[in-house]
């Protein structure tokens, strides 16, 4: 894998043909066309054999998703505090068996049935954002352990059905230090490793820490995908170059993730 495209919205009426016509080796698209209707095997044929990962959240719930009403009706207590900066989105009790039964397993089944070659899992870092006052007895460490356990369960579930099915969590690379994490994943996707949205150089100490974790994941033999948010051509070139130098697979685009941006050279 050398190039990839990450697009979650803005799909044209022609479906995935434009993505299929790019030179990208891998594409990450939403599990659904619009938050509700999943892609079909026929839809994915337009990708022309590119490896496709289905984006889905495992640590949160958005109010436009098909499962939202179901959760509200049957298990509303799964919804916790809102995700900062994202109206209509909540962190959830991702360790609760009802979350697996109502949301995670059905989403994985849809990805497998559509013919995706893997899943791209967002809000893996939910363990950092959940308000501890809403989950008595939990700590950041126990929530991190619970997230790793969920990744292990997801990996076992999909690989029992398709051994070559990829599991890629997004962000939270520090979880690689927890037992079981590296064995459960095939790689990791990292946002804003070199540029924050938008065009702000990532130079604070936290960036250096995440880069060290990313290097360790790469050295463990896992694929590291990076997505930085920049519009200035100089910053785009810098993000591509820095990622290449680290042995990562880069992509630079807009934070809305609603279009196909030029691939990194």
Q: Which domain holds residue 49?
A: 4-253
**DSSP assignment, residue 137?**
T
Q: Which pLDDT score, from 0 to 100, does residue 168 have?
A: 98
Domain CATH code at residue 44? 3.20.20.70
pLDDT digit string (tens) for 52-73?
A: 999 999 999 999 999 999 999 9
Give the Å distances, CA to CA, from 41 to 32, 111, 134, 248. 12, 10, 40, 29
Residue 72 counted as domain residue: yes
Whole-model pTM: value is: 0.98
51 within some domain: yes
In a domain, 258, yes or no: no
Q: Write the burial class of residue 218 (CB in 10 Å: 0-12 exposed, 13-18 middle, 19+ buried).
A: middle
Low-confidence residues of the chain: pLDDT under 50: none
How high is the pLDDT of residue 192?
98
pLDDT of residue 227: 98
Q: DSSP 3-state helix, strand, coil percentages of the chain (rounded to 5)?
A: 40, 25, 35
263 lies in a domain? no
Domain-embedded: residue 168:
yes
Angle subtended at Cα 252 by Cα 250 and Cα 258, rounded to the nearest 5 degrees:
125
The Cα–Cα gap between 130 and 81 comes to 7
Q: How many domains does the chain have?
A: 1
Q: Is residue 259 part of a domain?
A: no
Residue 136, classed as helix, strand or coil, is coil
């Amino acid at each position: 894998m050398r190039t990839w495209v990450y697009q979650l919205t803005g799909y044209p009426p022609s479906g995935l043909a434009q993505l299929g016509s790019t030179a990208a080796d891998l594409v990450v698209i939403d599990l659904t066309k619009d938050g509700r209707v999943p892609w079909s095997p026929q839809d994915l044929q337009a990708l022309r054999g590119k490896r496709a990962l289905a984006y889905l959240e495992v640590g949160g719930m958005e109010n436009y998703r098909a499962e939202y009403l179901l959760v509200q009706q049957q298990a509303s207590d799964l919804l916790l505090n809102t995700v900062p900066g994202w109206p209509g989105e909540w962190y959830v009790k991702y360790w609760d068996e009802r979350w697996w039964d109502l949301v995670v397993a059905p989403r994985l089944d849809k990805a497998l049935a559509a013919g995706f070659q893997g899943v791209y899992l967002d809000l893996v870092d939910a363990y950092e954002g959940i308000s501890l006052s809403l989950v008595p007895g939990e700590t950041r460490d126990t929530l991190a352990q619970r997230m790793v356990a969920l990744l292990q369960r997801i990996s076992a579930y999909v690989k029992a059905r398709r051994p070559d099915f990829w599991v890629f969590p997004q962000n939270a690379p520090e979880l690689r230090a927890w037992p079981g994490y590296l064995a459960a994943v095939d790689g990791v996707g990292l946002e804003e490793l070199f540029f924050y949205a938008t065009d702000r150089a990532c130079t604070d100490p936290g960036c250096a820490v995440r880069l060290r974790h990313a290097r360790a994941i790469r050295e463990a033999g896992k694929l590291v995908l990076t997505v930085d948010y920049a519009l200035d051509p100089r910053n785009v070139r810098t993000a591509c170059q820095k990622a290449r130098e680290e042995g990562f697979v880069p992509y630079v685009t807009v934070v809305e993730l609603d279009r196909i941006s030029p691939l990194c050279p």
